[in-house]
Amino acid sequence: MFYREAGQFKTSYAADMAIFPILQDRIGLAVILAIAFIAIPLFGSNFLIQTVMIPFLVFALAAIGLNILTGYTGLISLGSGAFMGVGAYACYKLTTIFPGVNIIVWILASGFFAAAIGVVFGLPSLRIKGFYLTVATLAAQFFLQWSFVRIPWLYNYNASGAIEVPQRLLAGIPVTGANATPVTRYLVLLSIVILLTWIASNLVHGRIGRSWMAVRDMDIAAELMGIRLLPAKLLSFAVSSFYCGVAGACMMFLWYGGGEANDAFNINQSFTILFMVIIGGLGSIIGSYFGAAFISILPTALKFGLPAMGIALSGPVAEHLNYIILGVLILFFLIVEPHGLARLWQVGKQKLRVWPFPY
Amino acid sequence: MDILYSIFVDPFMQMGSAPDLLVQTLWEGFVGGILYALIALGFVLIFKASGVFNFAQGIMVVFAALTLVGLYEKGVPAFLALAITIGVMFVLAYAIERVVLRPLVNQPDIILFMATFGLTYLLIGLGEAIFGGNPKVMIAEQLYLPKGAIDLKILGGVVTLQKIDIAAAIIALVMIGALSLFFQYTRIGRALRAVADSHKAALSVGISLNQIWVIVWFIAGVVALITGIMWGARSDVSFALQVVALKALPVLILGGFTSVPGAIVGGLIIGIGEKIGEFYWGPLVGGATESWLAYCIALVFLMFRPQGLFGERIIERI
Amino acid sequence: MKKSALALGLVVGALVGTPALHEASAQESVYVPLFTYRTGPFAGSGIPIADGMRDYLEMLNQRDGGIGGVKIVIEECETGYDTKKGVECYEAVKDKKPVLTNPYSTGITLQLIPRASVDKIPMLSMAYGLSASADGTVFPWIFNPPATYWDGASVMVTYMAQQLGGFDKLKGKKLGLIHLDAPFGKEPIPLLENLAKEYGFELKLYPIAAADMQNQSGTWLAIRRDRPDFIYNQGFGAMNPTAVKEAIRNNYPVGKMVGVWWAGGDDDARGGGAEAKGYKALSFNQTGVDYPVMQDIIKHVFDKKLSKVENRNRIGEALYNRGVYNSMLIAEAIRTAQRITGKKVVDGADVRRGLEGLDITEARLKELGMEGFAAPVRVTCADHNGHNKAFVAEWDGGKYVKASDWIEPIKNKVRPLIEAAAKEYASSNTGWPKRSEACDKPS
């Protein structure tokens, strides 16, 4: 009733091709942005910001990165955790070598290092396809993880063997380190994520994105149509790793505030991000957000939400139950909608358009 | 020069000067390879018949072993526990077919892959809720698995062969032989191969897909149980064992997803390759190379044969 | 809009979730959250520790009505040994005025170290975490008594010298360090290298990748080749039972293998069967129930069905007793804080002072019913660890027994390393606060 485009006329091709052609969508987006930028920092508790929103945004960024590779280009990667690690260690080295430069510049720049490493491990993708390609990315995962522990230069030879996040200021306010409030870190992270989402959205809707999708649908056909496979695939690896790298730097500097690779950038992390992409919806930016929300927020919500609803369970039982519920929910959503939550969202919008008089 | 020497000369000198250690390394690699192959076998069976990349195989290994040991700890005699565990694996296979595979039939591979991840969570939760998170000791003796070692005095040294390793190798080989015969000569086995070739064609000649899937998942469950017993006897039965199952991935990729002999050969190449690499070249870079060497070996092979050693040729048409 | 409704639902759910766990009645109680891991791949060591920690505090509640007449509100938060979940736990308990945090994971400790001073909540990481935090002048809010990993490694070297008949006999011997290939496992390396140079023994490193914890045969081939005279095992979780079993498989004498204290769980040795007899591990607490404190736990907690332990035999295991020891430190810190401040209900800042004033003497141990159970512990303003004595425990096939005297760590080797590491930490973390907390006069 409220959600329909009747009466909204397009007078130019640009308007017709807009990503959000419907007015209500644009309003909705503005509302969400307003909630994210104003309501949550003002009214959210530190717990909400620190353990729900910040992890969600970091994972959403990583999921967008992997979605570019897996969802848009059709190359499955199990190395995203390690690429996040590359970003985190690059950022750590950069900010300790050049402490004067703004930390946000380094967080973004660290993505380029991840991109470079990503391209190297993406090289076999021209020859190896499908599940077989995962071995190249798994090699990246385990080799890089080993390097993080093995090369003390990466963690500045410190005794803890971990990244120790120093305090950095932005306009006099601490952004990283212990004195940075969750709200500051959240706002910085949110800005980075939104900026990169906007760039990703433009990338995938443009010429490059279309060439990626052509490669995904059938690479030989794409080649016949004049898409050069190697540059297209490598660019996809580079962009994807860039996003993962930035996500990794954000994870260490804006969320964890220090930590070590075996703990944070292990194979489980790679799997987690892949599953976010799949459950959210392959080849969908908004799906990356849904997937990240589902897999990162749900366990927290179950752990702290069930006791809040009066279902008091002892720690381990609750943890087991969380696993069971999460497993069942994944199966349930896959059976209901195998194309991910993004598709569910599409269907929902479609239904909403004709509500209350469905035909 | 020193570096070149330590890379290209020294390891071979070591091999020559202590041949008994070389034999021992090869043997350890062989045993390790067999154990990897066992995990990979479970993957291959399921992939062949249902096209599912079964991420849950690792947790199935843990779950099966845990059920066995857990039942024994609750006072069930060892062999009865074994029988009950096999029963549990059958129920599991049936449930998976009913609840997961049937509604997801004809979906893209990656969705089924994802579904097995949901399954993994479910089994972790169930396993821990029922049997607890404590690591458990595998009941190897109660199952009459041999203990102790045979010392071979050859090549001027001693090579120690663990009886349990020999048993593992024999059991694995027998199982592979039996599975090949089963596929080759029985009615169900042939139906299974037909399904692997083409679901639609198999359906059209009256083969019940559902039935085949239950059987395949059940066999994979039994393979998981045997794997769990063998790995459990080497270390402990705990949820950490699930990580070892990841080692099956390079094996699988190297051998090809659809080939039973491929799983064995791949397992042996990876097992022996990583042991030799770690033992002779590992110290040069500080050791612990086993975590990634397997993947690099597989990658090198894949550069020449993108479909794996025994995989079906990938033919692409427009 | 559907999406905002969804978001709103999540927001509301999470908001409600925050303060929910337990409404601590702030008046006459102290709130002690225990981060434990009873699930996940490391549950094997986490369960006995969690039980021990909980049961000791519960015993104080039952027997004495708490500490100094103030009830202890005990709350466990499950971390699964996962850093992300551990930090969630911290955020969930932070606003409920905990008197200290007890993270029980090095990963979680590393994350919480910078926050402790900001949130004014001291942290007790008993013989784990960041070794450098033993320097109280740099880390006023972090405590890691009774010993650091560097102390442990030096005790190992001293023990080796004792077995061989003197430090001069160490020359030309080989010590193998089999360790988890992670910061935790690599920690003793600089100290051992230092000592190797000093005493002329050779140090061999055998790293085990975290993914290969249960798959060590390659490493053990190298150990067979090198034949080290002793092996020090800085391992954790499933790595330990596998190492013990591999030692047996490879005919390495298990009696020459000594684990760090976290490699000294009963489950670590039990899997090796009869042949694991003789396996050793460092420890700073005795096993068994022949101590008044353990009898009190059985009487006031286990017999009243207030314990989560199902099998009575598990009370008295090495890791259970270590949990008891850990909680004893917590309780004594709270008691000391009450004494110093004169308040009954203490807060985080008070307990920080209590931890700094911690002085558990032989006499005090006797009062606690722990005579002979543990060595005296003393923490000072500058020294947040104490570098206290440890001993070598030996697995006799069913339990660990004390197999050496209490051995003093080589403190003059350890302390410089700690101070250097602490200084390095402070200088690389720009903005690390200078210590502003005044020291109490030792009483």
Q: A132 vs A68, A78, A128, B307, C277, CA distance in Å?
A: 19, 11, 6, 7, 46
**Token digits of residue A342:** 């993004």
Domain containing B15 equals 2-304
Sign of CA dihedral C203, C209, C210, C216: negative
* C263 and C369 assigned to the same domain: no
> Looking at the complex, does the CB of residue A3 fall below 8 Å from at least one CB of chain B?
no
Orientation angle between helical segments A134-150 and A267-280, nearest 10 degrees: 140
- Domain assignment of residue A29, yes or no: no
Instruction: Point out the residue among A31, A179, A304 whose CB comes nearest to the CB of C1.
Output: A31
C96-C349-C101-C387 Cα dihedral, nearest 10 degrees:
-170
C166 and C229, same structural domain?
yes
Window 152-211 of A, Cβ < 8 Å to B: none
Flag whether pLDDT at B91 surpasses 80.
yes
Report yes or no: A229 at the B interface, CB cutoff 8 Å. no
Nearest Cα of chain B lies from the Cα of C29 at a distance, in angstroms, of 32
- Claim to verify: residue C381 and residue C396 sit in the same structural domain: no
Neighbours of chain C (3+ CB pairs under 8 A): A, B
What token pair was written down for C381? 């303003």
Q: What does DSSP assign to residue C239?
A: H
Question: Given CB atoms, is A307 within the 8 Å cutoff of chain C?
Answer: yes
Q: Which of B253, B286, B318 sits opposite A150 (nearest CB)?
A: B286
pLDDT higher for C325 or B132? C325
CA distances from C98 to A40, C102, C201 (A): 26, 10, 47
Rounded distance, CA B305 to CA C52, Å?
A: 56
Which A positions 99-118 lie with beta carbon below 8 A of chain C?
A: 99
Split into its structural domains, chain B has a count of 1
Chain A residues near residue B110 by CB distance under 8 angstroms: 76, 278, 282
Q: What is the mean pLDDT of residues C404-427?
A: 89
A338 reaches B (C-beta below 8 A)? yes
The DSSP call for residue B134 is S
Buried b (16+ CB within 10 A) or exposed e, A222-236: bbeeebebeebbbbb
Residue B318 lies in a domain: no
Residues C171 and C238 in one domain: yes
When divided into structural domains, chain A yields a total of: 1
In this structure, what CATH number is given to the domain that contains residue A282? 1.10.3470
Is the CB of residue A316 less than 8 Å from the CB of residue C38? yes
Residue closest to A79 by CA, chosen among A129, A136, A119: A136
Is residue C437 assigned to a domain? no
Got the DSSP string for C85-120? HHHHHHHHHHTT-BS-B---SHHHHHHHHHHHHHHT
Tell whether C178 and C33 lie within a shared domain. no
DSSP state for residue C141 in the 8-state scheme: T
> If we measure between CA atoms, which residue out of C4, C397, C45 comes closest to residue C213?
C45
Q: How crowded is residue C335: how many other Cβ atoms within 10 Å of its Cβ?
A: 18
- Gap between the Cα atoms of B209 and B198, Å rounded: 11
Q: Find the closest chain B residue to A217 by CA distance.
A: B318
Partner B, chain A 97-136, Cβ-Cβ below 8 Å: 124, 127-129, 131-132, 134-136
Claim to verify: residue C195 and residue C324 sit in the same structural domain: no
Q: What is the pLDDT of residues A131-174, one digit of tens each?
A: 788 878 888 998 998 898 888 888 888 777 788 888 888 888 88
User: Cβ contact (<8 Å) for A161 and C187?
Assistant: yes
Predicted TM-score (pTM) of the model is: 0.89
Which carries the bigger pLDDT value, residue A106 or residue A15?
A: A106
Token look-up 């402070």 returns C426
Which position has the token pair 């690059």?
A90
Interface contact A315-C38, CB threshold 8 A:
yes
Q: Return the closest-CA partner of residue A307 out of A322, A293, A292.
A: A322
Give the pLDDT confidence score for residue B1 in this predicted structure: 64
Residue % of chain C over a pLDDT of 70? 93
**In terms of residue numbers, what domain contains C261?**
149-283+391-419
CB contact B107 to A (< 8 Å)? yes
* Each residue's pLDDT tens digit, C250-269: 889 999 999 999 998 888 88
Is the confidence at residue C13, as pLDDT, over 60? no
CA distance A345 to A285: 12
Q: Which residues of B touch C (CB under 8 A)?
A: 18, 21, 24-25, 28, 31-32, 128, 132-135, 137, 149, 160, 162, 231, 234-236, 238-244, 246-247, 274-275, 278-279, 282-283, 286-288, 290-291
List the single residue in C10, C92, C430 with the smallest CB-CB distance to A99. C430
Interval B249-267: pLDDT, tens: 888 888 887 778 888 888 8
Q: Is residue B58 over pLDDT 70? A: yes
Assess if residue A67 is contained within a domain.
Answer: yes
CB contact under 8 A, C17 and A31: no
Q: Where are the beta strands (DSSP E) in chain B?
A: 149-154, 157-162
Do C98 and C69 belong to one domain? yes
Q: Based on the structure, what is the number of domains in chain C?
A: 2
Asked if C328 and C318 touch (Cβ cutoff 8 Å), the reply is no
Handedness of CA C79, C80, C85, C86 (dihedral sign): positive
- Indicate the SS3 state at residue C435: coil
Q: Which residues on chain C are in Cβ contact (under 8 Å) with A251?
A: none
Q: Do B240 and C42 touch (CB under 8 A)?
A: yes
Instruction: Check pLDDT > 50 for residue C6.
Output: no
Q: Phi/psi class of residue B152: alpha, beta or left (left: φ > 0; alpha: ψ in -120 to 50)?
A: beta
Of C299, C240, C284, C286, the C-alpha closest to C151 is C284
pLDDT value for B73: 85
In a domain, B316, yes or no: no
Structural domain that includes position A229: 47-354
Task: Choose among B20, B19, B16, B17: nearest CA to B152.
Answer: B20
Is residue C332 situated within a structural domain? yes
> What is the count of residue pairs from A and B with beta carbons less than 8 Å apart?
132
Q: What is the pLDDT of residue B144?
A: 76
Q: Which of C367, C387, C407 is the last residue in one of the domains?
A: C387
CA angle B288, B293, B298 (to 5 degrees): 165
CATH of the domain at C297: 3.40.50.2300
Cβ-based neighbours of A214, under 8 Å, separated by 6 or more? A221, A222, A225, A227
Residue-level pLDDT at C443: 55
Q: Where are the alpha helices (DSSP H) in chain A?
A: 13-16, 23-34, 40-43, 46-47, 54-66, 80-97, 103-122, 134-150, 182-205, 207-217, 219-224, 229-250, 261-264, 267-280, 285-292, 298-308, 315-336, 341-354
* C-chain residues near B36 (CB < 8 A): none
Q: What is the distance between the alpha carbons of residues B54 and B119, in angstroms, rounded to a whole number?
A: 10
Does residue A359 sit in helix, strand or coil?
coil
Is pLDDT of C441 > 50? yes
Nearest CA in chain B to A70: B110
Is the pLDDT higher at B15 or at C290? C290
Determine phi and psi for C283, rounding to 5 degrees. Answer: -155, 160
In a domain, C19, yes or no: no
For the segment A247-278, what is each residue's pLDDT rounded down to a tens digit?
999 999 998 887 777 778 888 889 889 989 98
DSSP string, C164-225: HTSGGGGTT-EEEEEEESSHHHHTTHHHHHHHHHHHT-EEEEEEE-GGGTT--HHHHHHHHH
- Inside any domain, residue B312: no
Please tell me whether residues C220 and C120 are part of one structural domain: no
Read off the pLDDT band of C214 (50, 70, 90). confident
Give C226's Cβ-side CA count (13 Å radius).
24
Phi and psi at residue B211, in whole multiples of 5°?
Answer: -60, -45
Q: What is the pLDDT of residue B302?
A: 83
Give the model confidence (pLDDT) of A167-195 as tens digits: 888 888 888 877 788 899 999 999 999 99
A interface test, pick of C91, C96, C148, C239 with most A CB neighbours within 10 Å: C91
Task: Quote the CA–CA distance of A34 and A43 in Å, as a whole number.
Answer: 12
pLDDT given at position C143:
93
Determine phi and psi for C206, rounding to 5 degrees: -130, 85
In this structure, the number of other CB atoms found within 10 A of the CB of residue A263 comes to 24
**Residues of chain A contacting residue B53, judged by C-beta atoms under 8 Å apart:** 131
- A132·B119 Cβ contact <8 A: no
Average pLDDT over chain C, rounded to an integer: 86
Q: Is the pLDDT of residue C3 over 50?
A: no
The answer to whether A52 contacts chain C (CB < 8 Å) is yes
**Beta partners for residue A172, in sequence order:** none
Segment C411-417 mean pLDDT: 90
C-chain residues near B128 (CB < 8 A): 39, 43
Same domain, C236 and C380: no
What's the token pair of residue B209? 């897909």
pLDDT of residue A310: 67
B315 within a domain of the structure (yes/no) = no
Q: Tell whether C278 and C162 lie within a shared domain.
A: yes
CA distances C253 to A139, C221, C243, C245, C395, Å, are 36, 14, 12, 11, 13
Give B314→chain A minimum CA distance, Å: 10
Q: Does residue A27 lie in a domain region?
A: no
A4 lies in a domain? no
Nearest to A303 by CA among B191, C384, C85, C312: C85
The answer to the question of residue B194 being in a domain is: yes
Closest CA to C403 of C411, C412, C393, C389: C393
Smallest CA–CA distance from A266 into chain B, residue: B243
C267: closest chain B residue by CA: B135
Whether C131 maps to a domain, the answer reads yes
**Tokens at residue B56, please?**
């849950």
Give contacts of A302 with chain B, Cβ < 8 Å: none
> Is the pLDDT confidence value at A307 over 80?
no
Instruction: Tell me which chain C residues have a C-beta less than 8 angstroms from the C-beta of B24.
Output: 221, 224
Q: Is the pLDDT confidence value at A223 over 70?
A: yes
Answer whether residue B309 is part of any domain. no
Whole-number pLDDT of residue B209: 84
Contact B78, B139 (CB under 8 A): yes
Tokens of C171: 């020359």
Å between C111 CA and nearest CA of chain A: 6
- Cα–Cα distance, B35 to A254 (Å, whole number): 42
